Amino acid sequence: MSSRRRGTVAVLVAGAVVFTACGSVAAASGTADRREKQEPRLALPAPTGAYAVGRDSLHLVDKARRDPWVPKAGARELMVSLYYPTYRPARKATGAPAPYMSVEGARAFLKEMKVELPAEVLSTTRTHTFAGARARSGTFPLVVLSPGFRTPGAVLTGLAEDLTSRGYVVAVVDHAYEAAGVAFPGKGVLPCAACGRIGPTTFRPAAEGRAKDLRFVLDRLIGKTSPWKHADLIDKSRVALGGHSLGGAAAAATMARDSRVRAGVNMDGPFVDSGDASGLPGRPFLMMGTEADHSPGGEDASWDVTWKRLEGWKRWLTLSGADHFAFTDLAPLAGQLGEDDPEGLPGRRAAEITRDYTGAFFDAWLRHRPTRLFDGPSAANPEVVFQHPPR
């Protein structure tokens, strides 16, 4: 079993044990009263920027493509969660507090992951987002994020909130039938039809299929006309992509073929060979991964190959003690439940590092805000290993 698989299992199973234990303790101590007041037991890390965060949901249908996993379903469908800057203080926001997941969605996700715990515990995680809030005036760079295989885009909420609070529009894309827990209009929560069907021979077409998804999302958000009511918030000249796992592979594959994308981030995902264009000429790229799987010469050889092809500004960072989910909300949420691996990277630190380094990267290349964070190792972030001397 690879270190990635061990990390994934450790986070989910440990979380299940503690979630269940917390439910028992809560019942014994009378915290049912708090649940009646709808006070969640878990909360995402607070955003660090100056803006409050609004969120809309957009359903997109690519009529030019049939769904690759369930052809009989018809055209390819995507759900996009759009995070955008709104007003502070929160009491002036015009929207309602946004949920983390629906109970039904959380239940489907936990079932897919074979974790036995109350769906309400995960679904009631506190976010820092207001659904349908009044948007601020002005234009902002756009960052599009794609989640890992099997996981809904909700697990990137913390990163999306923080980037938005720093002055970005963030689009988190859910790809139909590639995750559990995502609802589509008129269809409810779709099953993860792709689960169990992606392997060494099918990973590349899956990543390239997602790349088509992401290019379609860009067409709809920054094209001549857009179905999103706040599309005028987006500065079309400042666009970047990022993703976790399969989403990271898709971000790189999209950037290789789409000149509209100025910068990209791959968080612990393999790369696929997209031909000569995979060199991403002249554009910055950030690789952030687990030390076990994504160090030079590690289990995933695609990182060594891609590193040599990257021709623009580039950094290859690994997080000591991190597992595969360290780049998602699952890490800090598990940490809040006391389930940090004593020999691993604490979930709180994983969230801080992911937030700080991705935020600094996008700030540098989309907002022209210089940073010294990528100059090399620092005493403030000893867990971050620079695998090649910066150049």
The number of CA neighbours under 13 Å toward the Cβ of 390 is: 13
pLDDT in tens, the chain (391 residues): 344 433 433 444 344 433 333 333 333 334 444 444 444 489 999 999 999 999 999 999 999 999 999 999 999 999 999 999 998 764 555 678 999 999 999 999 999 988 777 899 999 999 999 999 999 999 999 999 999 999 999 999 999 999 999 999 999 999 999 999 999 999 999 999 999 888 877 889 999 999 999 999 999 999 999 999 999 999 999 999 999 999 999 999 999 999 999 999 999 999 997 554 456 668 999 999 999 899 999 889 999 999 999 989 999 999 999 999 999 999 999 899 888 888 899 999 999 999 999 999 999 999 999 999 999 999 999 999 999 987 6
- Nearest Cα to Cα of residue 283 among 204, 361, 168: 361
Longest Cα–Cα distance in the chain:
62
pLDDT at 26: 37
Q: Can you tell me the distance from the alpha carbon of 269 to that of 294, in angstroms, rounded to the nearest whole number?
A: 9
- What is residue 120's predicted lDDT score, i.e. its pLDDT? 93
pLDDT tens sequence across 279-315 = 666 899 999 999 989 999 988 999 999 999 998 999 9
Whether pTM exceeds 0.85: yes
What ranges do the domains of the chain cover?
A: 3-372+379-386
CATH superfamily of 3-372+379-386: Alpha/Beta hydrolase fold, catalytic domain (3.40.50.1820)
Residues composing the chain: 391
| pLDDT given at position 115 | 76
Cα(130)–Cα(363) distance, integer angstroms: 24
Among 148, 177, 155, smallest CA distance to 67 is for 177
C-alpha dihedral, 352 to 353 to 355 to 357, nearest 10°: 150
